[in-house]
Structure formats: structure tokens, C-alpha cells
Amino acid sequence: MPKKINLIKFLCLLVYLGCVSANTLHYQPQQIHLSIGDEPNSIVVTWNTIDNPGKSMVEYGINGFILTASGTRKLFVDGGKEKHSQWIHKVTLSDLEPDIKYIYHCGSNLGWSAEFFFKTFPDGNNWIPRIALFGDMGNENIQSLPRLQEETQRGLYDAIIHVGDFAYDMNSDNARVGDEFMNQIQSIAAYVPYMTCAGNHEESFNFSNYRARFNMPGQTDNMFYSFNMGPVHFIGFSSEVYYFMNYGIKSLVNQYEWLEKDLIEANKPENRKERPWIVTFAHRPMYCSNENGDDCTHYETLVRSGLPFSEFFALEPLFYKYGVDLEFWAHEHSYERLWPIYDYKVYNGSYEEPYRNPRAPVHIITGSAGCKEGREPFIRKIPEWSAFHSQDYGYTQLYAHNSTHLELKQISVDKAGAVIDQFYVIKDEHGSYTKTD
């Protein structure tokens, strides 16, 4: 009997010294982020655990954790050699009071996160959404993150829009780079909705890391969807369906049909009156003046002109027809503002005020948040349709003041947060540009 007890003590000592592997379980929530839900006045909380705790819960409230919501979890297995796996949890908080600060934490009885907070949107359209937009932000050289962390937690934004290309790449090192990146942005994304679209760096294993890690509205695997904030109707979609045809044409067809239906609905008189601004975002731009071989440097880009020879699924005429006001893009690791443009022709409102009642959409490229690939150069002779360009690391701020005024600012991280570009888009009426042809 004493020999048996001594053996147990010896094995325990080996475990303590790390000589024998113990079965360690990981139930602690990580990679916590928010998104706008499908239901009115709802927020989706998403997080990951290494092991399955058996429950997915959020405790929340205005003055303490008074309310509890339960959700679902799915096992995600990365496509890499190690088949790195984790559980992704999703809980929807419904029927939230408008314009109220809530505190919350997420997890289960086996482990809870730290306490976070978020503020719900006011009702209706008579308020000013404040949004930071950027693309191409990686795990390395993540230049814009510190300023965005501070500004978000100080309450300067109502939402973040990440215009494709995450982590570089989320599947790298058997998805560990993706894990680290999601933990890095938690200090932003756990406080405001972090809205996304897919970029080319998400392509591996048919965008599996991107599809699994986020929960955008619309039940379309985060690839295309829309949401409303104040006087703005936002549309996020995938430019990548034009470039990765190895996954088939069905995704492109479905997205295009959905886009037109969404634009038709947004342009119904009662809806356009309620939310007059239509703003789109996707990763690869229709135009750019960068000096590289990217598609936007070619005259007939796929997103703009559609499939070669047929021009099927061309988005520029679609957005022109349905009066899209503002189009955000990334992919180029730089910032560029265009004059109002359609088919390479500038349609300024006037010489003195080009963005007052423009006769075509306004394009912004905001892909300079910071990644390991560095900055993108520009060609020597900038085209006449390009109004402003910069290689500074930074991000864009959008303020939707009312039904007539949108304000945009470009923040330079290189210049310690200085505003290097600022302008207003002013419209007395909204709708199809074909009326002005």
C-alpha cells in the first residue's frame, strides 16, 4: 500500500514539473467581438474557446448583469495541416433599449470574460453615426490599432467597418495568426459593432476562416449583407467572387441578384426618404492610381465592368442606376479620394463645389491601416479623376450629419493623428444618376 501511494505522489510530481502531459482544458472566452444583428435593436456577441464548455451565455444589463441570453456554438476546424480547432460562440442580444449603454460579459459557468460595454444606436434616422473605416490591417505592422483602440474606448465611434484583408493571413501558422489578430482587435471590436467584408487575403480554404469567425447580418456567411445606421443604408459585399472563380460562378450570380434587390428596396420612395444615403463597401476598387499590377490599374476592371467580353455582373452601371452615393474600397495600401466618377468621366457638381450635388458616385480607397506588406506607391502622373492621394498609414472617419451632409476625414497615423484630408458630400436630393444624363 505505501508503494502505491508513493507512485501516485511521484506521478503528481512529474505532472507538476511538466515531465508528464496533463489534459488541460481551455474554457476561457477570447477573440470577443460585436456585430449588428438581423433583428431591430439587436447586437450579436461572438467569441471563441479552445474547448467546448457546453453552454454559450452572455450576462448583461444597464446596471449590472441582470439579464441572460443563451446562444449557439460551432466547432471550427482550420484547413491547415494541424487541423487547429476551436469553438465559436454566437449569442444575440434582442430587444435592447435604444441609445443606452450596456455592460456585459460572455462565457459560461466554466469561465467568464472580463466586463465590456457597448452603446446601442438611437431610434430612427435623426442622429449622427460616427464610423471608422479601413482595410488591409495585419497582425504585423498594425500601425493604426493603438489610436483606434483609444478612440473607440473613449466613445468616439458607433461602429467600425473593416474593408477586407485581416491578419495576413487568418489561416497562417495553422490559424494561430488569425487567433492572435482577433485577440488584438478585441480592444475595439468588443465595444462597438465590427462590420466586415472579405478580401483576397481571406481566400484560403474557400474563405473558411473569414466565414467562421464573423457573424454579419443576413445569413449569407458574411459575404454580402446590408444594415441601417441613422440616415445611411450600408451595403457590404464581396469583390472576391469576381476573382476566385475556381469556387464557381454561383456565388457571383447570387450576390449580384441580391445586390439589385437590396438597391431596389432601398430606393423605394419611403425608404430613400427615411435613409437617403446609400454607402457601399468592398475590398478591391474599381479605380486606383497605384503603380502595381492590381486589377484597378487596368482600364476594364472586373468589379467595374463585369466579366470579360460579356460585361455580365458589372457593378458600376448598377450603382449608377440606383444612385449609390459613396463607395469605399481598400486593397491598395494607401489612401485615395476620387472626384465623382462614372466610366472614367468626372461628374463634379460644379467647379467651385465638386461634391455638392455630384452627378456620379464618390469613391474612397482606404487600405492604409498597416500590414506587413507595407505601403503602395503611386504612378508619377496622377489621373485627372484622382482628387487626393497619400501613402501615410491611417484610416477614414465618416460622419453622417443629416440627410444632406456627409463629412469624411482621413487620419494620418504617421502625423500623430492629424487630419490630412477632409471634405463634405452634400446632396439636396438622392436617387438615380440617370435622371441627370
pLDDT at 20: 43
Spatial neighbors of 217 by CB under 8 A, at least 6 apart, are 35, 36, 37, 38, 225, 226, 227
Which one is the CATH code of 124-426: 3.60.21.10, 3.90.79.10, 3.40.50.20, 3.40.50.2300? 3.60.21.10
Name the pairing type of β-strands 72-77 and 111-112: unpaired
Averaged confidence pLDDT in the chain: 95
The yes-or-no answer to whether 30-119 and 124-426 have a common fold is no
For residues 1 and 205, which has the higher predicted lDDT (pLDDT)?
Answer: 205
Question: Does residue 169 have a cis bond before it (omega within 30 degrees)?
Answer: yes
CATH number for the domain formed by residue range(s) 30-119: 2.60.40.380
Helix (H) or strand (E) holding 210: helix 204-213
**Can you state the angle between helices 204-213 and 172-189, rounded to 10 degrees?**
30
Q: In the chain, where are the structural domains located?
A: 30-119, 124-426
- Whether the pLDDT of residue 21 is over 50: the answer is no
SS3 sequence of 32-90: EEEEECCCCCCEEEEEEECCCCCCCEEEEECCCCCEEEECEEEEEECCCCCCCEEEEEE
pLDDT digits (tens, 9 = 90+) for 358-404: 999 999 999 999 999 999 999 999 999 999 999 999 999 999 999 99
Spatial CA neighbour of 92 closest among 57, 136, 122 = 57
pLDDT digits (tens, 9 = 90+) for 279-321: 999 999 999 999 999 999 999 999 999 999 999 999 999 999 9
- Whether the pLDDT of residue 225 is over 80: the answer is yes
Query: What is d(CA 249, CA 272) in angstroms, rounded to the nearest whole number?
Result: 31
Taking residues 114-127, what's their average pLDDT?
97
Query: Which letter does DSSP use for residue 96 in this model?
Result: P
Query: What is d(CA 100, CA 428) in angstroms, rounded to the nearest whole number?
Result: 32
| pLDDT bucket at 7, cuts 50 / 70 / 90 | low
pLDDT at 15: 47
For 24, list phi and psi in degrees, rounded to 5: -85, 130
Spatial neighbors of 306 by CB under 8 A, at least 6 apart, are 312, 313, 314, 315
- Whether the pLDDT of residue 143 is over 60: the answer is yes
pLDDT at 88: 98
